[in-house]
Structure 1
Amino acid sequence: MQEIQDSLALNETVNQVLTKEVSIYDMITQGGTFGVIIMIVLFLLFVAAIYLFIERFLTIKRSSQIDENFIHHIKDFVYDNKIESAVELCRRTNSPEARMIQKGLQRIGRPLKEISDAIENTGRLEVYKLEKNINYLATIAGAAPMIGFLGTVIGMIMAFMEIANTEGQVDPKLLSSGIYVAMLTTAAGLVVGILAYLFYNFLVMKVDKSVHSMESSVTDFLDLLNKPVVK
């Protein structure tokens, strides 16, 4: 008889879940205090991931915008021995390539190896600026699913504790809180982790593209210094 009552209660609970429209707020709050805490942490990680992505994306986009004729103007100034004019053009151009070439221009007259080393050191600083805070996205991508999984483990512990406290008389309503925590935090953690992972890889791709552009411009500049000046 008890088994029939439990079965009927379970069916009634399932029907309520299927027929009742449950808001996101209801889903979060029904997970209990621990579920709310986990969801708040995941929400903060989600906001952080969005902020980091937008901030880095705009920074990388600004740094990659450069006049296609920039290197040609530099070549003309160098051929005409107007080094100061070339340096001034670099100062007015806000880009990693311009700052790297400016460092090389300021060392013209010294050995080519010294010029190349100065440009390379400046390039490392520029790449660091582009990659700044991107690793936080990788951390969020790894941490969010783990936090969600922690919620799953705690939720299942809560469910089994309810079973133990009822001495085998399982009431589906008593288990709902633990099950909410287990399922909801797992889903939320995966969503945040996947988004952060996609953001991270997209930004890495953009940085690689910018680095390739920087290397191309610097190579053209060093080739310029190796060519004899023809007048």
Structure 2
Amino acid sequence: MNIMLLLTTAVTSQLPEANLSLWSLIVKGGWLMIPIFLLSIVGIYIICERISVLRKLSKTPKDFTEKIIHYMETGNSAAALQECKAEDSPLARILQKGIRYSHIPVPELRNSLENTASSEVAGLEKGLSLLATVAGIAPMIGFLGTVVGMVQAFYDMSLAGNNINITLLSRGIYTAMITTVAGLIVGIIAYFGYNLLVGRIEKTTDDWENSISAFLDSLYAVKK
């Protein structure tokens, strides 16, 4: 008997159960749905948490750097430091260091601020490596479920001998299909979230670089 015909018939025989609940489908996916489910929780948590952090950074006033530059140009470094402490953001901490060490040569100060910025960027990227892992491993677990399900289906066929009952194959087919779909869905969400966060972080760091350059340029002009 054609194996593909058997598998197709097995799937078709389950169509009357189209009203299965989501929980029933998850249960039919087998034990491999557990790690996929855990990965989905980890991925969604990282995405939501990082978006929340980046959203807070976007609330930094656009004229914040201009205020700091104005204070420095007028020689009011104390007010500039107070403004940075009140803002308490990564950019504020970077410029705060620049104010405190404004007496050193500008090239050395630039290197110092770039190192500080790199440290702040590392904080923004917290969890992204784990999110990338989720994006890669979730589909792999889903494909593993496909293999396990097909093995289960063939095993059930071998036990049945000549009296093959199509319904026996449903367990393996469910495991194969549901785990694959679940793994791909989790992987797609994690991959999309990763790229979204990377893009927003890059935009944030570009804004920091522009602010640092403007601050250093004004400081250089004052010293000159």
TM value normalised by structure 2: 0.90
Determine whether 1:204 maps to 2:181.
no
Please tell me whether residue 165 in structure 1 is matched to residue 163 in structure 2: no
Aligned residue number for residue 85 of structure 1:
79
Cα 1:15–1:223 change in 2 (3 A) is same
| Structure exhibiting the larger radius of gyration computed from Cα positions | 1
2: distance between equivalents of 1:70 and 1:172? Answer: 70
Task: State the match for 1:129 in structure 2.
Answer: 123
Q: Name stretches of at least 5 consecutive residues in structure 2 with no aligned partner.
A: none
Choose which of 154, 162, 171 in structure 1 pairs with 2:148.
154
Query: In the aligned structure 1, how far is the partner of 2:11 from the partner of 2:110?
Result: 72
What is the number of residues matched between the two proteins? 219
In structure 1, distance between residues paired with 2:82 and 2:221: 23
Report what 2:20 is aligned to: 22
Query: How does the TM-score come out when normalised to structure 1?
Result: 0.87
> Percent identity at matched positions?
38
* Residue 184 (structure 1) aligned with residue 182 (structure 2): no
Question: Letter of the aligned partner of 1:28 in structure 2?
Answer: I
The separation in 2 between residues aligned to 1:12 and 1:73, in whole angstroms, is 70
Q: Distance in 2 between matches of 1:212 and 1:103?
A: 19
Counterpart-to-counterpart distance in 2, 1:13 and 1:54? 37
Aligned-partner Cα distance in 2 for 1:42–1:192 = 7
**Distance in 1 between the 2:178 and 2:11 partners?**
18
Please identify, of 20-29 and 130-139, the stretch whose mean Cα deviation from structure 2 is larger. 20-29
Shift of 1:119: 0.6
Superposed displacement of residue 21, structure 1 = 1.9
Spell out, residue by residue over 1:167-208, the C-alpha distance to the aligned partner (whole angstroms, 9 max, x if none): 243211111101110001000000010011111110111101
Structure 2 CA distance for aligned equivalents of residues 205 and 223 of structure 1: 27
d(CA) in 1 for partners of 2:137, 2:10: 37
- Partner secondary structure for residue 227 of structure 1: helix
C-alpha contact 1:13 1:173 (8 A) present in aligned 2: no
- How far apart, in 2, do the equivalents of 1:223 and 1:57 lie? 32
Cα distance in 1 for residues equivalent to 2:198 and 2:13: 47
Question: Given that residues 146 and 176 in structure 2 are in contact (C-alpha distance below 8 angstroms), is that contact kept between their aligned partners in structure 1?
Answer: yes
* Deviation (angstroms), 1:17: 2.2
105, 109, 120: which one pairs with 1:115? 109
1:34-63 deviations in Å (ceiling 9; x for gaps): x1x211221111111111111000101112
Q: 1:190 to 1:87 in 2, by over 3 A?
A: same
Question: Residue 175 in 1 paired to residue 173 in 2?
Answer: no
Query: Corresponding residue for 1:99?
Result: 93
TM-fit CA distance, 1:130: 0.7
Aligned letter for 2:100? Q
Instruction: Decide whether the 8 Å contact of 1:52 with 1:133 is kept in 2.
Output: yes
